[in-house]
Amino acid sequence: MTSFSDSLFKKLWLTVTATILVTVLYSFLLSYLFYEKLYVDIVEKSLIEEGNRLAGDYSGGPLTNELKERIEWYNEKSESEVFLVSNPKELSACLPYAIDYSTLIGKEEREQLLNGEPVFKSGFEERFGRKILSVAIPLLDNSRLEGIIYLYVPLAKISELTVDFSFLWLIGGVTFIVIAAFLGFKMLHKLTRPLAAMKEAAERVSIGDYSARVDIQSKDEIGQLARAFNHMSESIQKEDEKKREFLADVSHELRTPISYIKGYSEALETGMITNSVEQQKYLKLINREAGRMVKIVADLLDLSRLDADEYKLVKSPFSLAQLIEDFIIKYGPALGEKKIALSLELDPDIIINGDEGRMEQIFQNLIDNSIRYTDCEGEICIRLSKHSYGCLLEIKDTGIGIPEEDIKNLTNRFYRVNKGRSRADGGTGLGLAIADKIVQLHEGKMEIVSKLGEGTTVKIYFPIVLI
């Protein structure tokens, strides 16, 4: 069973949920800080505007009682505390908490006041249990500091200002987290369901069940991965079926000659055959079947090398017509034995770049079939001509022909239209498969046209070397 930490779905869900939670908390903290800064800026601006309005009533000279009374009256009406002093040291007597004058208005602050600039001060006061924000507005007469209007206000705690805001934030944040976690759960479950299905299908494939497929429900990367998995599984299944069929065919093909060899050799060994003529006959049969086994094994080795891309061609330019003329000479006795007429129509100017030995292997497989399946006094015509593809080689016979439904399977391994006849004549059922592979290695293509009872034509197209 998969543990919690091993589940991709649970890891993604926890990651998404944690990200949402951190985002909500960060947003709350950020808005908290911004709100507090905004509040402090508003208070500072309000204090300096308030102080400047009061300072506007000062027309110069020593501070008058009328101005002091006006400031006192304003102090009673204002939410902030306002004092008017002629000497900064008098602030220690006006403020409702103990202060150090030197820290309140120092040398630098006094210079600011003499330059007509307000002085801001802030700090936490334990007596009020909160932060104090203050501003000193200078009253100047010809660059002489005649007095100071001092305003201060205890800043409200952000929790007091944002109690409703925080409560709504809490409710909204919790609701958002719950909804987002639920939707994330649903979304991730749907997202990872194909991955879980692929995991199960991969486990089935690993134990040999190649029929496993994944249901494709999307066109995104996961859907593409599912399609790739299905394609892989289908390919493995086909290859497995081919392998099973191939092994069955090989065992079937080898079983016949092996059984013949075993039966004939046992008959000779036990002395059942005493006649020398019969003994020679049996020895010929054993030799024929042994040769057949050698041919099957050699053809299988060629096919395995072709499938593994280990079949290396040694290519060079040569005249295809000359190769065919030289090669066909060795078939004279076989053609004469069946009184088969051979006609050649070869264009001597056609040059191809290929492996002469492998080309002969193609011709051998095709001409062997033509002679084998053409009755006595039949005809075989070999024609070589130029074509838009490059060149066209046609091997046409007047043999027994092939049923139309079998033509597409002729290049499959061990496929025979008439298996009984093929075995009697010594065929392995691999020749056309090998020929087709070699043609493809020469960048060519092979077509087979046939009509039952009338004969067969094999067409091979090759690229040519332009001179």
Quick: pLDDT tens for 190-222: 777 777 777 788 888 888 787 788 777 777 777
Q: Which structure tokens are listed for 146?
A: 């005649």
Same domain, 273 and 352: no
CB 51 within 8 A of CB 111: no
Total number of domains constituting the chain: 3
Same domain, 299 and 385: no
Domain residues for the domain of 430 are 316-462
180 lies in some domain: no
Same domain, 261 and 327: no
60 lies in some domain: yes
Same domain, 371 and 405: yes
For the chain, helix (H) and strand (E) counts, in that order, are 15, 11
400 lies in some domain: yes
Q: Report the run of H or E that residue 462 belongs to, with start and end.
A: strand 455-462
Mean pLDDT comparison of 172-176, 250-254, 285-289, highest-scoring range: 285-289
Same domain, 14 and 156: yes
The predicted pLDDT at position 421 comes to 44
258 lies in some domain: yes
Mean pLDDT of 379-405: 92
| Domain containing residue 355: CATH number | 3.30.565.10
> Terminus-to-terminus CA distance in the chain, angstroms?
70
Same domain, 19 and 155: yes
The predicted pLDDT at position 340 comes to 92
Same domain, 135 and 52: yes
CA distance 260 to 282: 10
Same domain, 248 and 385: no
CB 12 within 8 A of CB 192: yes
DSSP state of 417: S
Q: Which structure tokens are listed for 413?
A: 């391994």
Same domain, 62 and 122: yes
- ∠ CA 264-295-408, nearest 5°, is 120
Same domain, 291 and 354: no
- Measured CA to CA in angstroms, residue 230 lies from 8, 202, 323 at distances of 22, 10, 47
Last-in-domain residue among 276, 291, 311: 311
pLDDT confidence band for 279 (50 / 70 / 90):
confident
Same domain, 296 and 337: no
Mean pLDDT comparison of 16-20, 211-215, 423-427, highest-scoring range: 211-215
How confident is the prediction for the chain on average, in pLDDT?
A: 78
The predicted pLDDT at position 3 comes to 44
Same domain, 337 and 439: yes
pTM, full prediction: 0.47
